[in-house]
Amino acid sequence: MNRLSGIFWSLLFLAVPVLGVATFAIAPAIDVWLPKDVSEHGPAIDGLFYFILALTGVVFIATEVLLFWFLWKYDAANGDRPATYIHGSHTLEVVWTIIPAATLLFLAIYQMNTWADVKMRRPAMAPSVEVVARQFEWRLRYPGRDGTLGTPDDLFLVNDLHVPVDEDFLVQLKSMDVLHSFFLPNLRIKQDAVPGMKIRVWFKATETGQFDIVCAELCGWGHYKMKGRVTVESREDFDQWLESQYARQNATQPEADPSTAVARTE
Amino acid sequence: MPHASMMRSAMHRHPVTIIAILGLCLLATGCGQTPPAYFRPNMVEATKQRLTPDQEKQVATVLLAMFGTPDEPVCMPETGLDEAKLRLAAGPVRSDIVGRKNGLYREHCAHCHGVTGDALGPTAAFLNPYPRDYRPGVFKFKSTERADKPTHTDLVRLLHNGVPGTSMPSFALLPSAQVEALAEYVKYLSIRGETELTLMRAFFELDDEAQGKLPETREFLVDETLTPIAEKWKAAADAQIQVPPMPADIDLVASIAKGKELFYGDKANCVKCHGVTGLGDGQANDYDDWNKAIVEIGKEISSGSAKARETSTSGMSPDELSEHRAQLAWIEKFGRVLDGDALEPRTIPPRNLRHGIYRGGRRPLDLYYRIHAGINGAPMPAAKGTVPPEEIWHIVNYIRSLPYELDGELGADKPMLAKDRF
């Protein structure tokens, strides 16, 4: 093994941290970073993500640079100094166990509050909508004018979730057949829909716009296209939309103009 | 590990040979291309009509000229279809020169409804209920009288809502231009399928002079065959059921009570199929038209083959013998066609009205259409003529109350003893 081979392999190993850091650095610029966040708890979740990224990033760079340095400096072509055999270092082992353990313990406690906010501290309100996941669509049921789910004035829709902005929104999530996962990337919400369970999901959207609902648990051949749309809009627009859906659902006469028969929602 | 080190030393000594063998294996898998999609002929009808291979070929040639291929549709002006929409929906999935997505039917519909619209796509056999076969030109959920075609709006609405309770999904999130293109392509496939059926049935009417060939004249193919079919589609928009308005100040409680009377009464006789509890358990052995056709063919085959087996061939003249053999060959061919070109027939259960899931739409208007005109292709009869329009509204209101009927009266949490149900 000549010196050239040693240089080649050291540089190859150095390429790993260099390219690794480079991809993370350019990702936001080429739009392959976190999706746009429009939820109230989103900054807390993203903040945790960045914290862990920074921590692991520093450790990653440090260990990889060290690896490169040892490959470069102690290449056999540089000298004939034989290796020293040691029986291990108890101090070193204690240090490199305690520090990661303490870090993990810190992370576990640091994130508890955010987890509780998102998954445990349910707002005291009636469900705003019941989402029933089904192969391969999201069936929605709004409680209607009387505010109670399961009454004759409920509003039935498919895949088209509307949410009023800046208001607490409580979803009652069920599944009609198999496991699905209710994933709203832009609202930092992900919850498995488990058959037989009625699971509550809540959030507060802070910006208007149209965003995706995608299924995040493999549910069959149509899982890849089990997409819905969530529209965040002002309270007035939301009420107006509800009224128009009521009128549509309770129609006793066909539309005068057939071109308005179905909502053009794109 | 002697095996591993043997392999390593072999690779060191003969690297070129090893690489050559691996390369050869890679090439041996071949670089094939998917064959272009083609329309599948209606073999069930062709066999039923006892068409000869030449006759089947004539039908296929005529259809090719009149309708083109799945990748290159031909849009004759007599069909009244929009060619631009057909081009958007037809062919393989790709982007056209302005960046719009083409091949919409292949992407969204073909895997259940089939490239030919014959409901024999790869996923069709796994679905309950089966997807719709467009070729007979019969559609269940529409706003027109029973025997009429659906309007364009009916098709667009169905694509928008999907069919709840079945595997037909909602395409509400597709841009409306794409939904329009798909609806147009469904009409194209239906017109093509119905033309194919008409042509195949026309052989029976030929006189001996024609020598088993259909006249390939514009008069016969377009004016007498294609145009009547296309006219029915064009006429649908003007043939919508006239629905009298439901009075705005209607007393809902009284209407529901009246509706219940009618539901159980002899005039509408809903309980005969939908059951005295509305659970759809009134009867369970009827078929929809698509499945009934297969069931009847199956019966014909089994009775025909039973008779053929019992017939003794001794004492038959040569003519009788060849006829007997032809009959046996036909029965055998039909059996094979049913295996490959038809789905296992299923009964159609009457709808369970307690679920609150309505396949054709949940608006009161939709329920009115279903009761007034019945459901084309299904055993649901038309109440038009027997039940006056205001009374149909009473039945509609009763139906809409059925999923909630237990709340309050019996209590949703109290199970009902079977003996108390009747």
- Among A159, A250, A253, beta carbon nearest to B172: A159
Digit-coded pLDDT (tens) for A204-257: 999 999 999 999 999 998 899 899 999 999 999 999 999 999 999 999 998 877
What one-character DSSP code corresponds to residue B73?
Answer: B
Write out chain A residues lying below 8 Å of B400, CB-based.
Answer: 152
Q: What is the value of pTM for the model shown?
A: 0.88
Q: What is the pLDDT of residue B413?
A: 54
The tens place of each residue's pLDDT in chain B, 422 residues long, gives 566 677 777 667 788 898 999 999 988 887 778 788 999 999 999 999 999 999 999 999 999 999 999 999 999 999 999 999 999 999 999 998 899 999 999 999 999 999 999 999 999 999 999 999 999 999 999 999 999 999 999 999 999 999 999 999 999 999 999 999 999 999 999 999 999 999 999 999 988 888 889 999 999 999 999 999 999 999 998 989 999 998 878 899 999 999 999 999 999 999 999 998 889 988 889 999 999 999 999 998 999 888 888 888 788 888 888 888 888 999 999 999 999 899 999 999 999 999 999 999 999 999 999 999 999 999 999 999 899 998 999 999 999 999 987 654 444 555 667 777 66
- Could you tell me which residues come within 8 angstroms of residue A170 by beta carbon, excluding any fewer than 6 positions away? A122, A123, A125, A126, A127, A128, A200, A201, A202
Write out chain A residues lying below 8 Å of B244, CB-based.
Answer: none
Which chain A residue has the Cα nearest residue B158? A262
For residues B58 and B178, membership in a common domain is answered with yes
Q: What is the pLDDT of residue B422?
A: 62
User: What is the end-to-end Cα distance of chain B in Å, rounded?
Assistant: 78
Contact A262 B162 (CB under 8 A): no
For residues B271 and B303, membership in a common domain is answered with no
For residues B186 and B52, membership in a common domain is answered with yes
* 8 A C-beta contact, residue B394 and residue B246: no
For residues B229 and B108, membership in a common domain is answered with yes
Q: How far is A105 from chain B (nearest CA, A)?
A: 43
Q: Report H helices in B265-343.
A: 271-274, 289-310, 318-341
Which domains does chain A show, CATH number per domain? 3-77+90-119 (no CATH), 129-251 (2.60.40.420)
- Asked if the structure places residue B24 within a domain, the reply is no
Please check whether residue A258 touches B, CB under 8 A.
Answer: yes
pLDDT beyond 90 at A190 = yes
- Asked if the structure places residue B176 within a domain, the reply is yes
- Asked if the structure places residue B414 within a domain, the reply is yes
Centre a 10 Å sphere on the Cβ of residue B163 and count the other Cβ atoms it contains.
21
Q: How far is B393 from chain A (nearest CA, A)?
A: 9
- Asked if the structure places residue B51 within a domain, the reply is yes
Q: What is the pLDDT of residue B115?
A: 97
Contact B363 A248 (CB under 8 A): yes
Q: Average of pLDDT values for A34-49?
A: 96
- Asked if the structure places residue B230 within a domain, the reply is yes
Q: What is the pLDDT of residue B211?
A: 87
From B279, B307, B257, B304, select the one nearest B403 (Cα to Cα): B279
Coil, helix or strand for B327? helix
Contact B365 A252 (CB under 8 A): yes
For residues B103 and B64, membership in a common domain is answered with yes
For residues B143 and B213, membership in a common domain is answered with yes
* d(C-alpha A243, C-alpha A249), whole Å: 10
Contact B175 A266 (CB under 8 A): yes
CATH classification of the domain holding B365: 1.10.760.10
For residues B71 and B101, membership in a common domain is answered with yes
For residues B327 and B259, membership in a common domain is answered with no
- Asked if the structure places residue B259 within a domain, the reply is yes
Q: What is the pLDDT of residue B419?
A: 72
* d(C-alpha B298, C-alpha B331), whole Å: 10
- Asked if the structure places residue B6 within a domain, the reply is no
This model of the complex carries an ipTM of 0.85
Q: What is the pLDDT of residue A249?
A: 93
For residues B108 and B168, membership in a common domain is answered with yes
- Asked if the structure places residue B104 within a domain, the reply is yes
For residues B324 and B362, membership in a common domain is answered with no
Question: How many domains does chain B fold into?
Answer: 3
Please check whether residue A262 touches B, CB under 8 A.
Answer: yes
Digit-coded pLDDT (tens) for A87-105: 889 999 999 999 999 999 9
Q: What is the pLDDT of residue B411?
A: 46
Question: Chain A, 143-162: which have a CB under 8 Å from a chain B CB?
Answer: 150-152, 156, 158-160
For residues B90 and B195, membership in a common domain is answered with yes
Domain that holds residue B357: 252-286+348-420
* 8 A C-beta contact, residue B104 and residue B88: yes
For residues B282 and B297, membership in a common domain is answered with no
Confidence of residue A266 (pLDDT cuts 50, 70, 90): very low
Long-range contacts of B385-388 (CB under 8 A, 24+ apart): B386/B267, B386/B268, B387/B262, B387/B267, B387/B268
